[in-house]
């Protein structure tokens, strides 16, 4: 390795950039110099890859950066840890440091001995002083205050997080289960073409009747303020606020106050869309959003009674400036297209002269979008209340996307905390052999710390407010993210690390305060210690039946993790009936998504299915004869039996088999309960290739299934009751600790 290459790699590591990664193939892959320099530039360090002198200067500047600040921007500590904080002041200066608790109390810190050699910073000798944080500091958001003898005073953020999240502990005594649903696809006769919050509440109640503890929905994050919108719920405009498409219009108080003419107009809009609920054709989000916006503008004109107006004001105060800026962005996007050059004007940013002028000019439209967020908040609260009153221990489980689309609300509101020149994605893996680019800007690790993680905290608080749980998609992104320089291939990225103690700690703090369970989707390419760490902090991981293998053979359910949510499939795989039939293989081959030999891929997949079905047979949940149609020995490795009842029997058996796992939570996909075969999302494709996230709920025969009719679908109650029975027929067993985590 040349001296310049060595310096470049050392500099990259100093900025938290990993210079290689271990791929799904088990091999170590090096990151190119070009990628390293582009990622460094995005982090504020511009260097030439072969400029030895410049690299040395950059390394020294990076080493001394903490010495240029009196206090770290943000200090994150575990409750009870008794950790310390380093302060940098002119050498020999007397200094005191105190903690201003969020309760208003002040605690003076004890100074410790510190023999670190002072450093010459721009001609001034700077010393380091260390102070101990008391072990009995309460969890919460506090302030560190440092005062030097010359009168100089600096404040910084101190976050004390729980050592571990305790919200999942009750499920150690009685495991829980729930239903996962793509809400937009789960319609009722009252839906306006897509599922809504009223449908979510109804589904929760129906699930609770069978003993379920939660309903996990797709991310409900806001998208563009009007058509056309992106179909993927995992590519929102912002993660903090909610998509008004899910509002149940008839349950808004102002609907009842409409005059007869306006009521007829709104009902007419509903009737035109409700006619589509009976078809299994692709959903039309744009038609639904357009109609609901028309109706909501009528409702917004209704004068609210005093009590309702007070509730709206309280919501505005609670959400603060973030809500005001999001509503302004929505109003601006109604006037200016996303490609309009005005978005590049510095005066058009939040607080800028031009943006503030429009805040006044578009005040009514700003209020409309702000008001819709309040409606979403109230309907989510109603749905959660219905779920809990029906007997669910957890209720609604929200899904948190990895990030927001690079050219939308978060990019505008949080542009000083996001990296616009980078896109988030994933390196190649077994299921996406060309890698993935999700077109989302990553958090800037240092800007997060500089701003006290406020935007991250506020987002979590909004999402958790009416939820008993949260699923964090790609939770590995709180440890490291695959950054792809915009314009480069997903294979030409690099992992950038984050302060996981801060990211996970703040998540645990906000979840503990909300009383919510956290489930991390810890699938894909990751470092082995990550799962240990998540379990130690009280977060649940994710186990998918088809991915749980050891040496190419299915792992015994009894050997699954305890601190985990286990399910047969995930939204990026076909429903179980489709997986058994190999529909995903047909689709990937048709779309040319298989990097290797398609026949070899089919052979591998067929062998995998045969192994799992054989394991289910050996466990006594199926007879060998019942799986024969799905376990051919020919090269295809899959079959499509004509009898959907036989497939349903296998689906139930797979879920019963998985229920033997000691995992604290178990999940059932609604699509599995009705016999659906079509995949919701084919990763690596565009909408013109496949209608991702536009597939309405249907049964094995391709007929649309409505929430109203679920109890009449033969497989629905059968599958739910089978899982409930298995989880309650014997006490929790298996390992009592998980990946080295302490047993409560």
Note the pLDDT of residue 731: 58
Note the pLDDT of residue 457: 98
What's the CA gap between 339 and 743, in Å, rounded? Answer: 53
What's the CA gap between 409 and 330, in Å, rounded? Answer: 8
744 pLDDT more than 80 = no
Query: 431 pLDDT band (50/70/90 cuts)?
Result: low
Note the pLDDT of residue 742: 34
Name the β-bridge partners of 21: 29
Nearby residues of 65 by Cβ (< 8 Å), 6 or more positions away: none
Alpha carbon of 340 to those of 144, 333, 412: distances in Å? 43, 10, 13
Nearest CA among 175, 458, 229, 457 for reference residue 338: 229
Nearby residues of 478 by Cβ (< 8 Å), 6 or more positions away: 472, 498, 500, 503, 504, 507
Task: Report strand pairing: 665-669 vs 124-132.
Answer: unpaired
- What letter would DSSP give residue 218? P
- What letter would DSSP give residue 418? B
Find out whether 630 and 641 touch, Cβ atoms under 8 Å. Answer: yes
What's the CA gap between 359 and 238, in Å, rounded? Answer: 19
**Residue 554 CB neighbours (<10 A):** 19
Each residue's pLDDT tens digit, 260-310? 999 999 999 999 999 999 999 999 999 999 999 999 999 999 999 999 999
List of E strands, 320-441: 395-400, 422-426, 436-437
- What letter would DSSP give residue 277? G
Helix and strand tally (H, E) in the chain? 22, 25
Note the pLDDT of residue 610: 92
Find out whether 87 and 112 touch, Cβ atoms under 8 Å. Answer: no
- What letter would DSSP give residue 33? H
Average of per-residue pLDDT across 440-458? 97
500 pLDDT more than 60 = yes
Nearest CA among 574, 474, 485 for reference residue 239: 474
What's the CA gap between 265 and 369, in Å, rounded? Answer: 21
Terminal-to-terminal C-alpha distance of the chain = 49
**3-class DSSP state of 128:** strand
**Pair of tokens at residue 299:** 């409702």
CA 441 to chain centre: 14
Note the pLDDT of residue 730: 67
Average pLDDT, rounded, for the chain:
93
What stretch of H or E contains 553? strand 553-554
What's the CA gap between 456 and 507, in Å, rounded? Answer: 9
**Pair of tokens at residue 684:** 């690596």
Note the pLDDT of residue 107: 97
What's the CA gap between 670 and 125, in Å, rounded? Answer: 65
Tracing tokens 């054989």 back to the chain, one arrives at 614
733 pLDDT more than 70 = no
Alpha carbon of 231 to those of 382, 434, 472, 680: distances in Å? 26, 22, 20, 11
Q: Is 600 exposed, middle or buried (0-12, 13-18, 19+ CB in 10 A)?
A: exposed
Find out whether 553 and 610 touch, Cβ atoms under 8 Å. Answer: no
CA 365 to chain centre: 29
Average of per-residue pLDDT across 581-597? 85
What's the CA gap between 95 and 109, in Å, rounded? Answer: 11
What stretch of H or E contains 646? helix 644-658
Note the pLDDT of residue 405: 93
What stretch of H or E contains 228? none
What's the CA gap between 49 and 46, in Å, rounded? Answer: 10
What's the CA gap between 614 and 633, in Å, rounded? Answer: 13
Each residue's pLDDT tens digit, 475-486? 999 999 999 999
Average of per-residue pLDDT across 228-247? 97
pTM: 0.95
| Conformation bin of residue 82: beta by default, left when phi > 0, alpha when psi is -120 to 50 | left
**Pair of tokens at residue 111:** 């100074």
Each residue's pLDDT tens digit, 591-648? 888 777 888 888 888 899 999 999 999 999 999 888 876 655 443 344 455 578 889 9
From 359-368, 386-395, 645-654, the region with the lowest mean pLDDT: 645-654
Find out whether 161 and 79 touch, Cβ atoms under 8 Å. Answer: yes
% of the chain beyond a pLDDT of 70: 95
Name the β-bridge partners of 540: 519
Alpha carbon of 729 to those of 2, 175, 659, 725, 732: distances in Å? 64, 11, 11, 6, 10
**3-class DSSP state of 394:** coil
Question: HSE-up of 726 (CA within 13 Å, CB side)?
Answer: 23
From 346-355, 435-444, 641-650, the region with the lowest mean pLDDT: 641-650
Query: 185 pLDDT band (50/70/90 cuts)?
Result: very high
Judge if the upstream peptide bond of residue 22 is cis by omega within 30 degrees of 0: no
Average of per-residue pLDDT across 403-416? 94
Name the β-bridge partners of 470: 398, 518
């Amino acid at each position: 390795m040349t001296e310049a290459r060595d310096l470049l790699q050392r500099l990259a590591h100093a900025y938290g950039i990993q210079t290689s990664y271990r791929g799904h193939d088990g091999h170590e892959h090096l990151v190119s110099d070009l990628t390293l320099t582009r990622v460094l530039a995005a982090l504020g360090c511009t260097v030439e890859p072969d400029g030895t002198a410049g690299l040395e200067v950059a390394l020294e500047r990076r080493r001394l950066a903490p010495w240029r600040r009196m206090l770290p921007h943000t200090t994150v500590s575990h409750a009870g840890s008794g950790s310390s904080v380093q302060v940098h002041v002119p050498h020999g200066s007397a200094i005191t440091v105190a903690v201003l608790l969020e309760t208003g109390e002040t605690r003076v810190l004890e100074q410790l001995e510190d023999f670190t050699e002072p450093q010459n910073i721009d001609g001034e000798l700077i010393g380091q002083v260390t102070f101990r944080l008391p072990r009995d500091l309460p969890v919460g958001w506090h302030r560190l205050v440092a005062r030097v003898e010359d009168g100089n005073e600096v404040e910084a953020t101190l976050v004390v997080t729980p050592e571990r999240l305790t919200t999942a502990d009750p499920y150690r005594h009685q495991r829980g289960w729930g239903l996962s649903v793509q809400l937009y696809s789960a319609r009722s006769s009252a839906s306006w073409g897509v599922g809504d919050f009223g449908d979510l509440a109804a589904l929760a109640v129906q699930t609770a009747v069978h003993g379920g503890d939660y309903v996990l929905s797709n991310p409900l994050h806001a998208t563009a303020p009007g058509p056309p919108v992106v179909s993927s719920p995992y590519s929102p405009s912002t993660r903090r606020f909610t998509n008004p498409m899910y509002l149940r219009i008839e349950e808004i108080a102002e609907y009842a106050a409409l005059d007869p003419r306006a009521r007829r107009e709104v009902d007419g809009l509903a009737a035109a869309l409700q006619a589509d609920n009976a078809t299994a054709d692709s959903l039309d989000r744009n038609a639904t959003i357009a109609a609901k916006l028309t109706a909501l503008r009528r409702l917004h004109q209704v004068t609210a009674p005093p009590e309702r107006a007070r509730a709206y004001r309280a919501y505005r105060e609670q959400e603060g400036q973030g809500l005001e800026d999001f509503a302004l962005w929505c109003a601006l996007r109604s006037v200016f297209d996303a490609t309009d050059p005005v978005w590049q004007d510095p005066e058009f940013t939040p607080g800028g002269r031009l943006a503030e002028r429009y805040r006044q000019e578009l005040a009514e439209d700003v209020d409309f979008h702000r008001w819709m967020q309040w409606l979403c908040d109230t309907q989510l609260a109603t749905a959660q209340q219905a779920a809990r009153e029906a007997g669910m221990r957890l209720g609604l489980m929200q899904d948190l996307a990895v990030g927001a689309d690079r050219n939308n609300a978060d990019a505008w509101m949080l542009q000083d905390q996001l990296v616009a020149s980078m896109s988030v994605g994933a390196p190649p893996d077994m299921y996406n052999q060309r890698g993935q680019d999700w077109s989302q800007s990553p958090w800037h690790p240092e800007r997060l710390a500089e701003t006290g993680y406020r935007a991250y905290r506020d987002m979590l608080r909004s999402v958790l407010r009416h939820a008993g749980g949260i699923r964090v998609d790609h939770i590995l992104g709180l440890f490291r993210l695959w950054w792809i320089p915009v314009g480069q291939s997903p294979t030409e990225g690099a992992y950038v690390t984050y302060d996981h103690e801060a990211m996970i700690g703040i998540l645990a703090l906000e979840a503990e305060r909300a009383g919510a369970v956290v489930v991390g989707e810890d699938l894909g390419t990751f470092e082995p210690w990550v799962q240990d760490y998540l379990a130690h902090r009280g977060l649940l991981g994710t186990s998918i039946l088809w991915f749980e293998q050891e040496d190419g053979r299915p792992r015994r359910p009894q050997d699954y993790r305890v601190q985990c949510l286990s399910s047969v499939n995930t939204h990026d795989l076909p429903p179980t009936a489709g997986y058994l039939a190999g529909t995903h293989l047909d689709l990937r081959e048709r779309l040319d998504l298989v990097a290797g030999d398609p026949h070899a891929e089919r052979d591998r997949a067929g062998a995998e299915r045969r192994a799992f079905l054989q394991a289910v047979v050996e466990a006594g949940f199926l007879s060998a004869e019942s799986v024969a149609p799905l376990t051919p020995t020919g090269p295809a490795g899959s079959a499509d039996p004509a009898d959907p009842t036989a497939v349903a029997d296998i689906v139930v058996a797979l879920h019963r088999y998985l229920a033997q796992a000691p995992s604290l939570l178990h999940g059932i996909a609604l699509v599995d309960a009705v016999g659906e075969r079509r995949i919701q999302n084919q990763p690596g494709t565009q909408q013109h290739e496949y209608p991702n996230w536009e597939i309405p709920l249907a049964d094995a025969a391709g007929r649309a299934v409505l929430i109203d009719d679920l109890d009449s679908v033969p497989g629905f109650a059968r599958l739910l009751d089978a899982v409930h029975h298995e989880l309650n027929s014997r006490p929790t067993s298996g390992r009592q600790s998980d990946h080295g985590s302490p047993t409560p």
